[in-house]
Structure 1
Amino acid sequence: MGPVARALLLENPHPDADPILSRAGFEVVRHPGALGEDDLIEALAGVDLLGIRSGTQVTERVLDAHPGLTAIGAFCIGTNQIDLRAAARRGIAVFNAPFSNTRSVVELAVAEIIALTRRLTVRDKAMHAGTWDKTSSGSHEVRGRTLGIVGYGNIGTQLSVVAEALGLRVVFYDTAEKLALGNAHRTGSLAELLAVSDIVTLHVDGRPGNAGMFDRRQFEQMKHGAAFLNLSRGFLVDYATLREKILDGSISGAAVDVFPNEPRGNGDPFESELRNLPNVILTPHVGGSTQEAQENIGHFVAGKIAKYANAGSTDLAVNLPRLSLPASDSARYRIAFVHRNTPGVLALVNQTFAEHGANIEGQILGTLGEIGYVVTDISSELPREAVAAVSEMEDTLRLRVLARPGSSDADEDE
């Protein structure tokens, strides 16, 4: 009997992930918080699958220490906390949950837009301090006001539709070509959006080029008295300038869910220049933290990493070509082969199998940048010499042999 396959889950993904991984043959180990680099390297000993959320950094140093890791599941939307290229070069697939918490983030944004526009935080604080201050000063309906959405992806588009239903006029800006939904209007530049928006909300991804995209220049382009939301990435925004603009009244309020440096675990101290400011809502990165969203994410990501580990499927993978070869009853082995995207690799692989008498039942190939991925089903015996020959090819990054139903051989990783 070979070693027990293990899955390590950090940062408390939904418990529904556990039975999915258990049924796929993995022993599940949990740790409630994020882990630093050294602790993560130690914790990954003997682990095949890693599940994290946004607080754990999976660096190239971590991957160097554990190149035999099979897959990483990000139980969240973002994957900027993972070195995706380094993972791909080691044949480690990365999956996230790009759609599962969209509605939860949208609902939080809508709630905060209304709260900021009505200055509910100020009214609430006064009441808790024992002061009755009934006034309409600074309070507005959202109906008829202009919402500027920066980033028109999954969250931005759904927010656009819901906001229109509330009577908001929607404008958006995105660097990619996007179809406007409903009556939303695309602006030609970010500056144009900022000049007309009563509320500005960020919903862009975590690519390095977006770091620092919203600084003093952008805040000074906003309408006087506009509100600002960031439920996207903490490193996008100059929060020191946001503090200044709130204190001088240029910005009427802000809602912030993400920060450049976030505590690793619940109960850890939180520091920010945005604390104790009027009409500012601060939340601890909970945009997608509803029971419904976390349950959906737990099911989705656990299923994806288990299916890659056991069947080689990369459907919706972040860093490898997206392939899914249907199962064949007559196939005895499945070869999952990650390689450098070099011309002639597939021909050489098939020639090697043929020369050693292996019969190819089915096959699919895809490429993504510098990476190629081939899934091959073999219906005959699989000569070890063929596996060794392919494993030793110059362009081979990783080869896994997955035993199919009816085969008595254990899975191998070359």
Structure 2
Amino acid sequence: MTRIVLFENIHPSAREVFEAAGFNDIVTYKSALPPDELAKALQGAQAVGIRSRTNLDASLLKQADALRVVGCFCIGTNQVDLETAMTRGVPVFNAPFSNTRSVAELVLGETIMLLRRIPEKNDRVHHGHWDKTAEGAYEARGKTMGVIGYGNIGSQVGTLAEAAGMRVVFHDVEAKLPLGNAHACTTLKQLLEQSDVVTLHVPGGSSTRNIINAETLSWMRPGAILINASRGTVVDIEALRDALASGHLSGAAIDVFPTEPKGVDEALQSPLIGMRNVILTPHIGGSTQESQENIGREVAEKLVRFLRSGTTKGAVNFPEISYQEAAGSARILHVHRNEPGAMGTLSSLMAQHGLNIVGQQLQTLGNIGYVISDVEGQVDDTVMSVLRAHPITVRCERVV
């Protein structure tokens, strides 16, 4: 029986998808676990679902002998050692689309609130001040929104901003098709110099670390606004605080941080705490009921398709093979070292045990090859043991 283990209070929609597909051995945890407890919880699990706080490093992945597939019920996958997972024959899936609207709406809402100085006005009313002045308060209409990273979320932000009457420019390291009336900027500096509001939608990693720093902040328009709902490592927080304190920027909204609290009762440590022109939110860009339900279904459906048919379309670290209806009496999923003669070796082993290949799909990625073979014949434990024992094999499973 396939055991599925879900961490961090993943939406019940995921369980519904698994149970509808006939997977009933499901263990759930409401939160992330410390490494020692996590290692124990992973034992015997063939499919694992996590969110952003559970870190599956190389050590944990190597201990999880039964693990066949990982689902990240979020956009990011940097909490998983993707290279180690791949070399162990474990595809990793995520949800690149399901919370797009939620993040985009948050960014637009924060844009309007900061342009109107709502955080500061709200704070003053709570402290007994009735400040009705319009000084420093602006409409969104006619302002320029600069989008850094024009992917799924960035392009959606641009579409909503245009609907609010804003002009949209964007910068991306890859050529992207502009939506609506958006215009591409050839350099980051070009975007920053003309934008009233700058919003970040880039991945994490060394290439984007502190791309917003003292120098790039100095390129921004006086009185501009910065919004980061992407990754906590892309903004130099100390430099941002200085730009806000000096009045160079009029406001900021930050949803992600270099170091984030591990639990609900832990306080955020940040130099931005207490600044009245800054909106600080606890990494909730995608935290709406709609997005979490959609994410639960999207990732669970990907895991089900893999477990039932071996489909890896959409995997972030693995050779991608699209769904194809099974032929023959059994399906063998074989992950092997990408070396000359691998397919010949596999076919020969199958032939030696009376298996006739009636359909086959192969894809490779780096040092890994992945082949789905539909066969006629008896695929018993002896056959599987022979296939698994061969030196070229990384992982081999059977789907009947």
TM range (shorter): over 0.9
1:383 Cα deviation after fit: 5.6
Seq. identity, %: 45
Task: Check conservation: 1:358, 1:380, Cα contact below 8 A.
Answer: yes
Asked if the contact 2:44–2:65 (Cα under 8 Å) also holds between the matched residues in 1, the reply is: no
Match of 1:77 in 2: 75
Q: Which runs of 5+ in 2 are unaligned?
A: none
Q: Which residue of 2 aligns with 1:348?
A: 345
Query: Which AA in structure 2 matches 1:169?
Result: R
Q: Where does residue 136 of structure 1 map in the other structure?
A: 134
1:184-223 matches, cutoff 5 A = 184-223=182-221
Moved more, 385-394 or 166-175: 385-394
Q: Structure 2 CA distance, aligned partners of 1:74 and 1:391?
A: 27
CA distance in 2, matches of 1:133, 1:372: 66
Q: Which stretches in structure 1 are left out of the alignment for 5+ residues?
A: 405-414
Q: Residue 286 in 1 paired to residue 284 in 2?
A: yes
1:135-174, Cα deviation, whole Å (9 max, x unpaired): 1011011111111100010001111111112111111110
Instruction: Show CA shifts across 1:193-212 (max 9, x none).
Output: 11111111100112342222
SS in 1 for 2:129: coil
Aligned to 2:384: 387
1:356–1:383 contact (8 Å) kept in structure 2: no
Which range moved further: 19-28 or 139-148? 19-28
| Counterpart AA for 2:133 | T
Match of 2:361 in 1: 364
Which of residues 305, 326, 329 in structure 2 aligns to 1:332?
Answer: 329
TM-score normalised by length of structure 2: 0.96
The separation in 2 between residues aligned to 1:250 and 1:323, in whole angstroms, is: 50
Q: In structure 2, do the counterparts of structure 1 residues 263 and 123 end up closer, same or farther at CA, with 3 Å as the change threshold? A: same
Quick one: which of 364, 372, 391 aligns to 1:375? 372
Q: Cα distance, 1:320 vs. partner?
A: 1.0
**C-alpha spacing 1:394/1:199, structure 2 compared with 1 (3 Å):** same
Among 13, 16, 28, the residue aligned to 1:16: 13
Larger CA deviation: 269-278 vs 4-13: 4-13
What is the CA deviation profile of residues 299-323 of structure 1, one whole-angstrom value per residue up to 9, with x for unaligned ones? 1111111221232111211111111
The C-alpha deviation readout for 1:366-392, integer Å capped at 9, x for no partner, is: 112222110111121126554344323
Matches within 5 A, 1:142-161: 142-161=140-159
2:294 corresponds in structure 1 to 296
CA contact (8 A) 2:171 2:188 kept: yes
Deviates more, 1:204-213 or 1:151-160: 204-213
Q: TM-score scaled to structure 1, two decimals?
A: 0.93
For 1:126 and 1:146, the matched residues in 2 are separated by 28
Aligned match of 2:181: 183
In structure 2, what is the equivalent of residue 408 of structure 1?
none
Aligned length: 399
Structure 2 distance, partners of 1:274, 1:35, is 29
Select the residue among 221, 224, 232 that pairs with 2:222: 224
- Say whether the 8 Å CA contact 2:123–2:276 is kept in structure 1: no
Corresponding residue number in structure 2 for 1:407? none
